[in-house]
Structure 1
Amino acid sequence: MIAHVVTDTAVMFRRCARHTLRSRDTLIISLLMPVLVMMLFTYVFGGAIDVGGPYLDYVVPGIMLLCTGFGSSITATSVSTDMTRGSIDRFRTLPMFKQAVLAGHVAEGVVRNLAAIAIALAVALVLGYRPHTGVVGWLSAFALITLFVLAISWIAVALGLVAKNPEAAGGLTYAIMFIPYISSAFVQTSTMPGWLRGFAEYQPATPVVDTVRGLLDATDTGHDAAVAVFWCVGLAVIGFAGASAVFGRLAHR
């Protein structure tokens, strides 16, 4: 049974990956937009923002989360496109793991987002980013980022299923793309007005980015790590449950 699920998901992953590779303009934008935003904040806004150290070192973890936000729009739009074109209806009639098509979209989204993060990180290293961690820190940061990407990808799939059309699906993900901006990703939350600081400090992006920053800087992450993992697991469960519920209703129409 497990081998059947893995095989069907791998087939759907390859299908989604081929579609992404064929849409070269979308792929290029998703891979390069985070780099452009990083350079914008570093060289345009960075000089005016005091974070107690090099701004590039501060902003790189936030860019990693921003990559996920950009990528979620592509995932949601792809799922909605499958819905509107009837592809998912056809897949449900085949002798395969029914949710493999959703898992394939998630797997492709995770790989694509991690590729975008790797490109942004490589450019940051060229620009002078110098993390001070070791192998354990890198692996821990990678694990947390992957968990966050997985969670957001499931949320994006759920949004793609409920959207009326691909354009609406892309619009629904704007909130995901906007959340990192209202967090500690680009500025310290202590500089925000009180009414906004409360939201910034207790939404999921802040503990995740603070933990990644602490892991890469080899500093104490405190309780942020546990909160970050809790948020990522919670969002993944919500996204998976939501997508499964909507998919199940569609199967019984």
Structure 2
Amino acid sequence: MSTAYAMRDSMTMLRRNLKHAQRYPSMTVSIVATPILMLLLFVYVFGGTLGAGIPHSGSGGDRAQYTNFVVPGIILMAVTAGAISTAVSVCTDMTEGIINRFRTMAISRSSVLTGHVVGNVIQTMISLVLVIGVALLVGFRPHGSALDWVAALAMLSLLAFALSWVSAAIGLGAGSIEAASNAPMPLTFLPFLGSAVVPPSSMPVGLRQFAEYQPFTSITNTLRGLLMGTHIGNNAVIALAWGVGLSIFGYLWARSVFNRDARR
């Protein structure tokens, strides 16, 4: 099948998934609400105390300082939370037999998963706009230029794309919708074990080493550097490598599971 037909079929599947999300918005609402609630929790409940321990936190402005520190981490959590939607939607199609029906039709095989992945990236980027809007309302004051924002959004899009493929593979392999919704949860909370809410230097030795080398720390540091003007160093290169690596891994994993199920 030619590339043109594959693109056409992928666009058809994308429209299908976007219409489905529009008609059944409960999953989208919950995914958007989670990072917003976490933002309010860390700013207004923990912000005063945690802000006092953030380096260069000025006296009397600890909560404001911490807001600028934690928002890039919350933005990253919004992307990881969006991965749950892909796993659930793919698993729903699998358990209801819709994917098996698609396999009998004269359409590109890759278009089925591509529609889910691209649809989730679009929904995730829309949710990011809402999360950033709330962050600005609670006191987030970024210093990044327009080019910095473009670079930050490009990195977040790459991460959303990568995690969507990983979640698609999870959804294909899950036996039930409940399992599909729970399996990606570690991705959502892994930023907590990095530099999202506190500096890794404040952690015990073993946990600090894990936090420094896990993928979301370099991504968080890059995002924080782009938006707040902090030092990025080699974090941008590492973050890009993680994004590309996870994209390739997730795509190959999802394709393998999809083709394996087709042969059964």
Length-normalised TM-score, structure 2: 0.93
- Corresponding residue of 1:183: 194
Match runs of 1:195-214 below 5 Å: 195-214=206-225
Give CA deviations for 1:77-136 in whole Å, capped at 9, x if unaligned. Answer: 110111011111111111111111100110111011111111110111122211111111
User: What are structure 2's unaligned runs of at least 5 residues?
Assistant: 58-64
Question: Does the alignment pair 1:216 with 2:227?
Answer: yes
Provide the rounded CA distance (Å) in 2 between the counterparts of 1:248 and 1:27: 29
Contact 1:32 1:116 in 2 (8 A): no
Match runs of 1:53-64 below 5 Å: 53=57, 54-64=65-75
Question: Does the alignment pair 1:51 with 2:51?
Answer: no
Q: How much does 1:22 deviate?
A: 1.8
Match runs of 1:1-253 below 5 Å: 1-49=2-50, 50-52=53-55, 53=57, 54-253=65-264
- Greater shift, 18-27 or 71-80, is seen at 18-27
Provide the rounded CA distance (Å) in 2 between the counterparts of 1:146 and 1:177: 16
Q: How much does 1:38 deviate?
A: 0.4
Alpha-carbon RMSD across the aligned residues, in angstroms, is 1.1
Give CA deviations for 1:193-252 in whole Å, capped at 9, x if unaligned. Answer: 111111111111100010010011223310000000011111111100000011111122
One-letter amino acid matched to 2:183: L
One-letter amino acid matched to 2:198: V
- Greater shift, 30-39 or 101-110, is seen at 30-39
Secondary structure of the 1:139 match is helix
User: What are structure 1's unaligned runs of at least 5 residues?
Assistant: none
Provide the rounded CA distance (Å) in 2 between the counterparts of 1:108 and 1:249: 24
- Greater shift, 159-168 or 22-31, is seen at 22-31
Contact 2:200 2:211 in 1 (8 A): yes
